[in-house]
Copies of this chain bind each other. A is one copy, B any other.
């Protein structure tokens, strides 16, 4: 099939909206759509997604036949087998949704991918890691997400836990419990919530009142305080950098990527921590890996649609 007749759809299924992007094979974003997230376990929900794809292709006056791949980024574990068994955060019947999409797009390869892993593939295709064959995405949001790319493909993991770097145990002595039920996860120190928690502990140690916080993951207020010289806020960021550099040291000893890409809401504080993170990582890393670059993500909230489309494109390339 000529490349001009190959279109790829990236779909990012979030809690409130389903975002869709239409891409050509070179990764140009040609059009975008968004629909409120329906139940993805009934005919109406499937029709809402198919309708979005129809509008995208219609906007370019292209037939549905030219949809060559569809990637769906979803907020649940996607094992390497593609068989989804756990869907904690959304209502989805993955096989039935895939069947409905295949029915309308018979020539398309359709793939699910975990949303954090999709973001990694997006940054690899058209973001900060463009041109690389391996990378690790570190998404510092409310929690700490990750995506590992090796040999150009994302590591889903045998049980769908590939890139779950927020739940590496980096402090077996921790007494507080992580959201996952275990203790000492990297996410407890290096996430928006971790920044706030590091800050409140630093205030406690220093016996000072914390600044007003909008909630338990309001890292923005901590970053603002740090920018005006607040000692407890600076100490909190130091703790975050300490654990994050430890985490990257560990990841490099496992998969040794070419580059790390830091994304997520808390990457807005990169001006405060990026230089320190690069220095401390270089000092801690296994010598060969210390040259690994650390960059800030470029695609923001679009990383999911880019990456989902790219996962589908890679599947088509592999099968060609």
Chain A interface (Cβ < 8 Å from any Cβ of B): 77, 79-80, 86, 133-134, 146, 148, 150-151, 153, 155-169, 172, 180-182, 246, 249-258, 284, 286-289, 291-292
Report Cα–Cα, A157/B291, bound state, in Å.
12
Report Cα–Cα, A284/B168, bound state, in Å.
10
Contact B246 A292 (CB under 8 A): no
Report Cα–Cα, A250/B292, bound state, in Å.
20
Closest-by-CB residue of B relative to A133 is B80
> How many copies, total?
2
Pairs of residues from A and B, 5 with the lowest C-beta to C-beta distance, nearest first = A157-B256, A158-B258, A159-B288, A161-B256, A168-B253
Contact A253 B161 (CB under 8 A): yes
Contact B153 A288 (CB under 8 A): no
Contact B134 A255 (CB under 8 A): no
Smallest CB separation, A309 vs chain B (Å): 20
Contacts of A172 in B (CB 8 A): 246
Contact B180 A256 (CB under 8 A): no
Closest-by-CB residue of B relative to A164 is B253
Return the contact of A250 from the options B168, B286, B288, B289 (Cβ within 8 A).
B168
Contacts of A148 in B (CB 8 A): 254-255
Contacts of A180 in B (CB 8 A): 286-287
Can you list 14 pairs linking A and B with CB atoms under 8 Å apart?
A133-B158, A148-B254, A151-B155, A157-B255, A157-B256, A157-B288, A158-B256, A159-B288, A159-B289, A164-B286, A165-B253, A166-B253, A167-B286, A254-B254
Contacts of A151 in B (CB 8 A): 80, 150-151, 153, 155
Contact A253 B167 (CB under 8 A): yes
Contacts of A166 in B (CB 8 A): 253
